Amino acid sequence: MSNPELLLLDEPLSNLDMKREADLLRLVDDVVRSRSVTALLIAHNINPLLPYLDKVMYVAHGKVACGKPKEVLTSENLSALYETRVEVLHSSQGGIALVGIEETHGD
């Protein structure tokens, strides 16, 4: 690639161990910053990406939630998007876990 304006990366972290994930993300971050390139990454696990993200977009059930990670990654927003209760848990290291909470109905 010569001088791209946009990098499209579909699941670039799939099947990588944690060290290789970090190496790849540092490389992409370096390209983005040194060449003023925009990167669009599609990922199911966003935890490794969180330190690098300016914006996040979630797509589900024909709806979209887009914005800064702290704005989008909330229990309220993701519950509305997925149409089920979602709990967003935060670790002391800045990671997150999304937990789907199954609704129980009394008989």
Domains delineated in the chain: 1-54 (3.40.50.300), 55-107 (no CATH)
Q: Show the tokens assigned to 20.
A: 């290789």
The mean pLDDT value for 32-40 works out to 93
Dist. CA 2–CA 35, nearest whole Å: 11
Q: Are 7 and 39 in contact (CB under 8 A)?
A: yes
Single pTM value for the model: 0.74
Q: Does residue 36 surpass a pLDDT of 80?
A: yes
pLDDT computed for residue 106 by the predictor: 57
The mean pLDDT value for 9-25 works out to 95
Q: What is the pLDDT of residues 50-105, one digit of tens each?
A: 889 999 999 988 999 999 999 999 999 999 998 989 899 988 887 788 888 776 66
Identify the CA nearest to 39 among candidates 93, 94, 1.
1
